[in-house]
A and B are shown apart, each in its own frame.
Chain A
Amino acid sequence: MYSVNNEYMNKFFSIIKVLVLLGIILPMTSCSDYMTTDSSQYLSADNHNIDSPNDTVFSIVGILAKVGKLTDRTILLGELRADLMDVTPTTTGDLRDISNFTVDNATNTYADTKDYYSVINNCNYFIQKADTSISVRGRKTLSAEVQVAKAIRAWTYLQIGLNFGSAVYYRNPILSTTDLEQVPNELPLEQLIDTLITEVGTIKLLRQVDYPRYDGLNGLSSDISLFINPLILSGDLYLWKASFTRETEYYRAAATKYAEAMVYGNVATSNYANSWTDDTFTRYFNSWTSLFSTSSFELISIFKPASSTYDGVSSSLFSMFNNYELKASANYNNLSNNQDYCFYTTTNNTSKFTKGDLRIKSVLGTMNTNSTDTIITKFSNKVFPIYRAGLLYLRYAEAVNRAGKPGLAFATLKYGLNSKTLDSVFNRVPHKELADKASFVTIFSTVNPLANTLANTGIHSRGSGSSEYNTYYTIPDSASLALLNMDSVEYVENAICDELALETAFEGNRFQDLMRISIRRDNQTKFLAQKVAQKHSDNYNHYFGILSDKKNWFIKSK
């Protein structure tokens, strides 16, 4: 057919042989690289570097989306276990179990620790990977974001500790199942708080406003942040440590951090109040509601769920409240209704009183015209505060009260922290409490923003009228206190606890607030057990019994 001479054939064969050899050897030499496929759908964790501002933004937003997943459980675990929020006939099993302290950690959606650690691991990853050495125009561009991630991580750890009693603590990201072979330490709450205090202490405040600004994210006013304020977090950690150790120095440290947060963040409590328009108590003026709007000056750190699952992580809380799956407890209603409202007329300097704190008007409402069910309407803006001014001032009051300054603490509620309150001339705060010139007091006069006489009003005034003129709203004299079998610190602490309810109900802090107050008292569990058992009035002893064991304050984690 064809004739091909031998020489040609031989050459041809030797080429073929070489090709065959190459064919076998070539793929072997670079097998590992060859077998590594890259998808444009995902980013592989092992060859991803975070070294530009863009990477950073994406990573931080990713972390925020993870934090968003904690919204519902933060509020449910914080409130439904406590005394202010209650179940209704339509409450589903998972929620009912939270309220009844019968959480099955294997099945309850809200008892799963996975989502918390998911935040932590994403933070770990970012903190480890972000190249903080890169600087643009002399500014270390990624440093601020790393601080943000550290604060979020510490806050998340604190949530785990407070809800579950302990946390698995690790700082290197888990990026493969091999990383699971070494099980990190599990720290009990007290030890965890010590660790977090050290860690938060390393967070550098780069500017007064300590977080990066991402324009347009959520359409928030620029003073509201989706990040965790490290100063307030630091104050919280000290407050917890103080409560465990009962040492004044930690109360002072907490107060100092809170004060710094107020001053550096220019945080004031003014302007938001619900008040009767006249002494007939028929019409009221509502401005307290607006502190939950996204243009509020009150909000410091918030959860802002997406409007629907099509836009990102959304929250079910709004529909739970609206559908009357959860409601305010009788305790909350009673507490609010028993407040003495003071209407003060400047024209003739007289006070007129009525019963009831007006903030309840913004907290509760009715579902629709043909329903009598009272639903929680506090979050109709779908903004869930993590930190806000009211809370910050109440925490400050809590700290200074135990730091030996109940007068200052009470003044924060009654008059508001301002230059007038702190001026010894007006006798609003006992002189001996101001004598030591504690930095958490003097800071308000040296750094000026709050020094204005009207910068702050008393928190109590936000719903109970002009509390500075409220003669019922005072610390009783020592004789009366003796009859009550308590000292002024305990009295003020009770007042703070009630104020926390009136001001911050359903925002997710209640159970932890009760825990913190309870543990610093002589009988470590009684305060909390009483408060919560009152909610279960038909089964008081059962719940008092359960909650008298501190172990039951925590959900067993998986």
Chain B
Amino acid sequence: MRIDRHICKIGILHKGVMVFLMAIGIVPTYAQNYSKSKIGTDSISGKVVNIITKKEVVGAKIQTINMASSAMTDDNGKFGLLYPISSRTLLISAPGYENKEIVLYPGEKDKTIGILPIGSDNYFDDKVNFLGARRKSSISTSIKTLNLNNNLNSNTVDRAIVNQLAGDINVTANSGAHSSGLFMLLRGINSINATNQPLIVIDGVIFDNRDSEKSIHLGNSFNPFSPVDVNDVQSISVVKDGTSIWGSKGGNGVILINTNRGRSQATQISVSTALGYNTQPTVIPMMNASQYRTYVNDILKNEDARNSISSQYFLNNNPDFVFYNQYHNNTNWADGIYRNSPVQSYNMSVNGGDEVALYNLSLGYSRALNTIKENDFSRINARFNSDIELIRNLKVSFDIAYSQVDRTMRNDGVTDGISSQINSPGFLSLIKSPFLNPYKYDNAKNITSNLEDYDFLNISNPYSVIDKGVGVSQQRNFSMSIVPQLKINKNLTLSSRLSYTDKNISENLFSPMYGVAPYFDLDNNFISDNYVKTQFLHQISIFNDSRLNWKMNSGIHSFELNTGLRLLNDAYQTESAFGHNTGSDQVKEISTSLKYKTVSGIDEPYKLVSYYGIINYSLMDKYFAEVATSAETSSRFGRQTNSGVQALGVSWAVFPSINAAWLVSSEKFMKNIKFIDQFKLRGGYGISGNDDIESTAARTYLGAIQYSGTATGIQINNLGNPAVQWETVTKRNVGFDASMLHSRLSITFDLYNNTTDNLLTLKDAPGYSGVGSYWVNDGKLENKGIELGFNATIVRQKDFSLSLGATVSHYENKILKLANGDYRTTLYRAEVLTAQNQPMGLFYGYETNGVYATVGAAQLDGLSVRTATNALLPLEAGDIRFVNKNNDKIIDENDKVVIGNPNPDLFGTFNLGVKYKDLGLRAIFNYSYGNDVYNYLRSQLESGSTFYNQTVAMNNRWLAEGQKTDIPKSEYGDPKANNRFSDRWIEDGSYLKFKTLELSYDMPVKNISFLQGITIWASFNNLWTLTKYLGMDPEFSSSNNIFYRGIDTGLLPQSRSYYAGVKINL
């Protein structure tokens, strides 16, 4: 490698950097070639042309990176530029065109530079990282930035992420409810017991998201994105490595969301509106009245079943019978519960300012009804971001935002556990007997408008839950941020961000008495007629980030040093109450008169102090390095951690990282490889952490306990471990970014190998300590993976273009070491295996091999099942043929094996873009391949052992000797446990979803002075899903807890939706 001769202005620092660069093997023989001559200059002349039309571009600006030299193209598109030989990278920009970067090789004197008009995905777009927007070429970490400037269709932040970042994040929407939240895994599963959700940073403010907080509404989860209007979002950045700067919060990767700020002094008013509707979802086809009647008669062969029903009127088929009508309907319950639902959203923003201040003000309102009744979302939001130049060199940014999210809902999905009450309307609508009617008949056998009570099978009336129940979740978010920024001199800037965030959530739930079957609490021996739950969550977060920024660019070297101090002071409090039997469905509030009350609360203050430094260095715009370190201490850490540094009475976690990039395409030897525009190699190694430590893990606490209803006592609650610390996530990454064929093809490729050490886990305490277990850091896991993304412009003509893009991701998760050895966790009757040398989340259960068609077949196998009382029952004709793994002829615990893996083999997105003149068409698909799903919902709907209505598949259940089928006989109570957790319920959850087809048209508005532009658009979402999965939707997430992954609890499915909107720029 031959390097140009030039001066080293700051020798010492330079040597240091050289040593560092040599250490990472980038410039092995560089230092010797340095001598003390002056920087020479070189010159270039040429022209700038539009790649598509080949026409010259007038007024294009050509400049070096440090802006020391620049030139403009003349009327013929020509330019001439004298530039220092150390600055061979030129930036080209022109109004209406995408920015571009080129490199000049030594000896190049004449060059034609092709640039692209705005509109296509641009390889050279800035990326947003910790420091803000930076040139893509200079970034050495693995980051994907999604710019939402031209967002039309994504009406929520959730949807923007699912549609456009599904290859960068393994993401699923929690359910089909509007803004229901996301389950996100960034590069695999990084933790077992701590959170796996990436850190979310909105406008530079770190917020301690309480991943563990739970809604009182079944199937609902809190969504950190729901307060944010997607129209306010400028960019979403996914930071996959080099997260050490975020210290103990960066282990799961970081999602940076930046909102719109004032751009220019020209006032821009933008108004957008979208209207749409969601279609009623397709639910699982259930038996009709006559099929169900046959099924119930089948079940009632059992004496216990006959004893458990409260009347047998339904058996009377005489039309003159007084209750005949009541029991002879053919009701499609789902039709009455699900619906088509409208969605609307409005947003207005004003962007502008003067020489003193730039601002962006936006107001938004959106309201979406979900496709299940009494289930909706509405939000009012306002945001004001401003940047004020107070005096010369002192700038203050002042941001304020408020949002109010109101939801109504009912419980959704199936609960875990048989004794819990079933009051989710969606689930009830599936299991409810189709020969019953939601409404009562009067004595004259005429239907009335009065709702029926729960039925003789003890199944609730879903209409009543909807009509008489209450389910409210309200969230208020207020945030304010002030950032004085003082420019001390041309290299040095001091800034301090002080922000205040106040989050309030209040929730109410009332499950009525009328229409809902009473619930027997077997543990506590009482009957709940109705119940009330309420919950308040309040989080006040004060965040300060003060930093000193020093920048220097000598042409050869470019330095940027940021060093600072971060403080996070968080007060988190919750209160909740739960009580039964209000006495009347008119009384729906918590009161002292309630029975079996439980009240609880959480008060968890949290503090974090972090010193950090990050150095970005580039040499001749070819070699880039980023070295970052943060030293953190948190109130959750123990005082004597093993990997921490002890200072000032606390333990400090030190998180270093180093990332480097080499712009190979800027090397002289690449001069003749014409098809490559830019090729950059990246590599990085860094350590970050996960501080999702139980707040009481490090210290021993005393807590209050009720004694005999009348007195309160305090007791030692836990055993604190002063050595408890963060989980240590080590990230190793290599990759490249390439742009080829005159920006027709761009590729991003990454390989990573991340490990998490010091996994937080509960360790069994010795019996004499008086506690069961305590938190320790022990265990290790790894994630290896590959990520590939490409964008190709296949046709590129003046009026027509066609482009194609795709992302493919794969990760392999493996637990390397566990503190207490392998274990299994029972959830929704499934066993989830956590075992060394296996990935997280494996389903562990029985294998099956069809159904015994004949008595002979069953006898030939001679298998028995072991019941709960240890008795042996022989398997008979019509029973499932379980696989007897250990050949002892007994189906029991010892025959369980791994039967499924919820981790996908591949996931990602496809997109297709077509543009004809002002008309645009975009299609987005995403997919997941190779992930298994435990269809818990189906296991309830095909159990053949309860009075629940069954799916139509159950018509094919085994009924008679010799019948060949794969569905066993129905039997009340399931004595042989035919519907136990087995591969019968494990399905291939692979899917390809046509997420969105979006059509947009930029109306020509040349002759209307006050209008800058009008865009009309329409979109079709969830057009189809290609899957073998039998459930309602293969994309769901019932919990952020990793153990629940791939367990389908029957949440509201996503359904097809149609939207249309208009965006007007004034």
Whole-angstrom CA separation of A113 from B523 in the bound complex: 24
Between A and B, 23 residue pairs with Cβ closer than 8 Å are: A2-B392, A20-B546, A23-B546, A27-B567, A27-B609, A31-B649, A35-B635, A37-B606, A44-B700, A118-B715, A118-B716, A120-B770, A122-B715, A122-B716, A174-B719, A174-B768, A176-B721, A176-B722, A177-B721, A177-B774, A177-B776, A306-B707, A307-B709
> Is B648 within 8 A of A39, CB to CB?
no
- Asked whether any CB of chain A lies closer than 8 Å to the CB of B720, the reply is yes
Interface window among B593-601, B728-736, B800-808, B880-888: B593-601
Closest to A220 in B: B708
Which B residues are CB-close (under 8 A) to A180?
719, 765-766, 769
Which B residues are CB-close (under 8 A) to A32?
639, 648-650
Taken residue by residue from 1 to 40, chain A's Cβ proximity to chain B (1 for < 8 Å, 0 otherwise) reads as 1111000000001001000100110011101101111111
- Asked whether any CB of chain B lies closer than 8 Å to the CB of A311, the reply is yes
Which A residues are CB-close (under 8 A) to B772?
114
> Is B709 within 8 A of A177, CB to CB?
no
Closest to A314 in B: B524
> Is A4 within 8 A of B605, CB to CB?
no
> Is B768 within 8 A of A45, CB to CB?
no
- Asked whether any CB of chain B lies closer than 8 Å to the CB of A201, the reply is no
Whole-angstrom CA separation of A46 from B639 in the bound complex: 13
- Asked whether any CB of chain A lies closer than 8 Å to the CB of B391, the reply is yes
Taken residue by residue from 630 to 674, chain B's Cβ proximity to chain A (1 for < 8 Å, 0 otherwise) reads as 000111010110000001111000000000000000000000000
Which A residues are CB-close (under 8 A) to B605?
37-39
Q: Within A83-129, which residues are at the interface with B (CB < 8 Å)?
A: 93, 112-115, 117-122, 125
> Is B701 within 8 A of A45, CB to CB?
yes
- Asked whether any CB of chain B lies closer than 8 Å to the CB of A59, the reply is yes
- Asked whether any CB of chain A lies closer than 8 Å to the CB of B710, the reply is yes
- Asked whether any CB of chain B lies closer than 8 Å to the CB of A43, the reply is yes
> Is B701 within 8 A of A44, CB to CB?
yes
Q: Within B667-715, which residues are at the interface with A (CB < 8 Å)?
A: 695-696, 699-715
Which A residues are CB-close (under 8 A) to B596?
308, 310
Whole-angstrom CA separation of A308 from B700 in the bound complex: 28
Shortest Cβ gap from B213 to chain A (Å): 15
- Asked whether any CB of chain B lies closer than 8 Å to the CB of A58, the reply is yes
- Asked whether any CB of chain A lies closer than 8 Å to the CB of B723, the reply is yes
> Is A312 within 8 A of B716, CB to CB?
no
> Is B770 within 8 A of A31, CB to CB?
no
> Is B708 within 8 A of A42, CB to CB?
no
Neighbour of A309 across the interface among B496, B524, B546, CB < 8 A: B524
Neighbour of B707 across the interface among A64, A117, A177, A308, CB < 8 A: A64
- Asked whether any CB of chain A lies closer than 8 Å to the CB of B315, the reply is no
- Asked whether any CB of chain B lies closer than 8 Å to the CB of A138, the reply is no
Which B residues are CB-close (under 8 A) to A168?
766-768
> Is B695 within 8 A of A306, CB to CB?
no
Which B residues are CB-close (under 8 A) to A66?
715
Closest to A170 in B: B768
> Is B565 within 8 A of A24, CB to CB?
yes
Which 9 pairs show the lowest CB-CB distances between chains A and B?
Answer: A32-B649, A61-B713, A62-B713, A311-B709, A118-B770, A168-B768, A42-B701, A121-B770, A62-B715
Which B residues are CB-close (under 8 A) to A313?
705, 707
> Is A1 within 8 A of B392, CB to CB?
yes
Closest to B702 in A: A43
Binding site for A on B (CB under 8 A): 355-356, 389, 391-392, 486, 488, 494, 496, 523-526, 546, 548, 565, 567, 596-598, 601-607, 609, 611, 633-635, 637, 639-640, 647-650, 695-696, 699-717, 719-723, 765-772, 774, 776, 870
> Is B603 within 8 A of A40, CB to CB?
yes
Shortest Cβ gap from A366 to chain B (Å): 20
Which A residues are CB-close (under 8 A) to B707?
61-62, 64-65, 68, 217, 306, 312-313
Whole-angstrom CA separation of A93 from B866 in the bound complex: 14
Taken residue by residue from 537 to 558, chain A's Cβ proximity to chain B (1 for < 8 Å, 0 otherwise) reads as 0000000000000000000011
> Is B713 within 8 A of A121, CB to CB?
no
Closest to B637 in A: A35
Which A residues are CB-close (under 8 A) to B708?
217-218, 304, 306-307, 311-312
Binding site for B on A (CB under 8 A): 1-4, 13, 16, 20, 23-24, 27-29, 31-32, 34-46, 48, 58-66, 68, 93, 112-115, 117-122, 125, 168, 170, 173-178, 180, 183-184, 214, 216-219, 304, 306-313, 319, 557-558
Whole-angstrom CA separation of A24 from B609 in the bound complex: 11
> Is B723 within 8 A of A177, CB to CB?
yes
Whole-angstrom CA separation of A20 from B635 in the bound complex: 24
Neighbour of B609 across the interface among A31, A65, A118, A125, CB < 8 A: A31
Shortest Cβ gap from A326 to chain B (Å): 16
> Is A45 within 8 A of B766, CB to CB?
no
Shortest Cβ gap from B388 to chain A (Å): 12
> Is A45 within 8 A of B700, CB to CB?
yes
> Is A117 within 8 A of B768, CB to CB?
yes
Whole-angstrom CA separation of A28 from B548 in the bound complex: 18
Whole-angstrom CA separation of A218 from B772 in the bound complex: 29
> Is B607 within 8 A of A37, CB to CB?
yes
Whole-angstrom CA separation of A308 from B706 in the bound complex: 11
Whole-angstrom CA separation of A58 from B705 in the bound complex: 9
Which A residues are CB-close (under 8 A) to B701?
39, 42-45
Whole-angstrom CA separation of A219 from B708 in the bound complex: 10
Whole-angstrom CA separation of A177 from B703 in the bound complex: 18
Which B residues are CB-close (under 8 A) to A184?
768
On whether A4 and B650 interact (CB within 8 A), knowing A41-B603, A217-B710, A308-B524, the answer reads no
Beyond A42-B701, A175-B720, list 11 extra A-B contacts (CB 8 Å): A4-B392, A44-B702, A62-B705, A174-B719, A175-B700, A177-B723, A180-B769, A306-B707, A308-B596, A309-B524, A312-B706
Which A residues are CB-close (under 8 A) to B723?
177
Neighbour of A177 across the interface among B355, B714, B715, B722, CB < 8 A: B722
Of B637, B705, B776, the most chain A CB neighbours within 10 A belong to: B705
Which A residues are CB-close (under 8 A) to B606?
37
Which A residues are CB-close (under 8 A) to B770?
114-115, 117-122, 174
> Is A2 within 8 A of B648, CB to CB?
no
> Is A16 within 8 A of B494, CB to CB?
yes
Whole-angstrom CA separation of A37 from B208 in the bound complex: 15
Which B residues are CB-close (under 8 A) to A113?
767-768
Of B604, B707, B719, the most chain A CB neighbours within 10 A belong to: B707
Shortest Cβ gap from B609 to chain A (Å): 6
Shortest Cβ gap from B992 to chain A (Å): 46
On whether A13 and B488 interact (CB within 8 A), knowing A1-B392, A20-B494, the answer reads yes
On whether A39 and B604 interact (CB within 8 A), knowing A1-B355, A118-B770, the answer reads yes
Whole-angstrom CA separation of A133 from B746 in the bound complex: 80
On whether A177 and B719 interact (CB within 8 A), knowing A20-B494, A63-B713, A307-B709, the answer reads yes
Shortest Cβ gap from B775 to chain A (Å): 9
Which B residues are CB-close (under 8 A) to A1?
355-356, 389, 392
Neighbour of A36 across the interface among B392, B635, B706, B766, CB < 8 A: B635
> Is A64 within 8 A of B713, CB to CB?
yes
Whole-angstrom CA separation of A516 from B692 in the bound complex: 53
Whole-angstrom CA separation of A122 from B705 in the bound complex: 13
> Is B768 within 8 A of A319, CB to CB?
no
Whole-angstrom CA separation of A380 from B658 in the bound complex: 71
> Is A59 within 8 A of B392, CB to CB?
no
Whole-angstrom CA separation of A112 from B766 in the bound complex: 11
Which A residues are CB-close (under 8 A) to B870?
93
Whole-angstrom CA separation of A319 from B611 in the bound complex: 59
Closest to B391 in A: A2
Closest to B703 in A: A42
Whole-angstrom CA separation of A120 from B597 in the bound complex: 31
> Is B705 within 8 A of A312, CB to CB?
yes
Whole-angstrom CA separation of A432 from B696 in the bound complex: 66
Which B residues are CB-close (under 8 A) to A170?
768
> Is A23 within 8 A of B722, CB to CB?
no
Whole-angstrom CA separation of A184 from B768 in the bound complex: 9
Which B residues are CB-close (under 8 A) to A61?
707, 711-714
Which A residues are CB-close (under 8 A) to B715?
62-63, 65-66, 118, 122
> Is A28 within 8 A of B635, CB to CB?
no
